[in-house]
Amino acid sequence: MDPRSHVVVEANGKLIPWLTENRKRNQCGFHIVHGMLSSSSNGTFYIHDEILDGSAVKRTDAGAPVMSVNVPVYTVDQIESQYGIRFSAAIMDIEGGELAFIEENAEFLRRIDLLIIELHRPVIGEGVARATSILHEQEFINVESIGDSQVWVKASRLGIAAPRVVGSPTRVDDLPSVAAVGSNEVAWDGIDGLHVSQAANDSSKFEVAPMQLIAAEAEGRHRLGIRFALAGGADLCRVAAIVRPKIATRVYLEVRDGSSTDYGIATYDLRTMSCIRVGGDLVDAGVDAAEEGWVKIWCELKCSARSAAAYVGLASPAGEVSYRGDGRSGCDFLRFKIEP
């Protein structure tokens, strides 16, 4: 609403003319500050041959720096005071300095709604885990990742109450009884890294009460599976799961037959209603809209055996099937559907 409520801080003086020209060409109103944000730095900044590789951290992945310079140092409070702005968002690409900024600015992170950040793993290494841990502590939710760039949003910004962190993963013995799927007799095949609870049944159309699947704070896969017998004579099986996003928007389906020779996995984006990745021996996969905000994800697999197993799982925002859960993100799960 006010283009002037935007400040760009850049330590590399050689980039200032480019920022100025960019502002002019795009008719923007942002202020430009030459310097760096820190409460501990002495202002040393390393410049490399590649103009975009400059950092307050001595990078080894970008080769030896050409030179080091000293630049003015500001705190967030000083920038806000100078321009009379109370920031609600931060966009950060500072070539390895992001961990130090996150560690130093807990109060600032506590009050902003949006953080778009590139985490430079080759520079900060294990510091990536430390940075993401702090962001989780500040009640951010990672809603999108492309490469090393990530979007973190406060739960309140998403229009939802910040859910509590769930406890340990649920055991198979603690799951509710599994109902028959059509004419197929089924049983639970296993559960990994999920906290399962009963979700609100907000429709009289569904005989089965929905379950809420949350990725527990555990490393690995976060999935729930059933085993079933195929109808006689069928060699192609279609498995579907009826789900509804609840913070998490990326889910997957895994299917394998009893011989373990036939296997496939498909990953879906519930936000865009699309299948984004297909692997293994799957013949086809897709997404269909279901009733009242529910989504039907499905895949087809040729089977060599009369028995099979299917899993519905939560993928990370980057689409990974194995990762550390945050104890918050999940989806509602209604039921499996199996069709020959």
pLDDT of residue 148: 82
CATH number of 7-158: 3.40.50
pLDDT tens for 194-212 read 999 887 665 556 667 889 9
The pLDDT of residue 56 is 74
Q: What is the pTM (predicted TM-score) of this model?
A: 0.56
Secondary structure (3-state) at 312: strand
Hey, where are the domains in the chain?
7-158, 172-339
CATH topology for 172-339? Jelly Rolls (2.60.120)
pLDDT tens-digit profile of 77-98? 999 999 999 999 999 998 888 8
Q: Is 130 exposed, middle or buried (0-12, 13-18, 19+ CB in 10 A)?
A: middle
The alpha-carbon radius of gyration of the chain (Å, integer) is 24
Sheet of 140-146: strand order equals: 89-92, 114-118, 149-154, 140-146
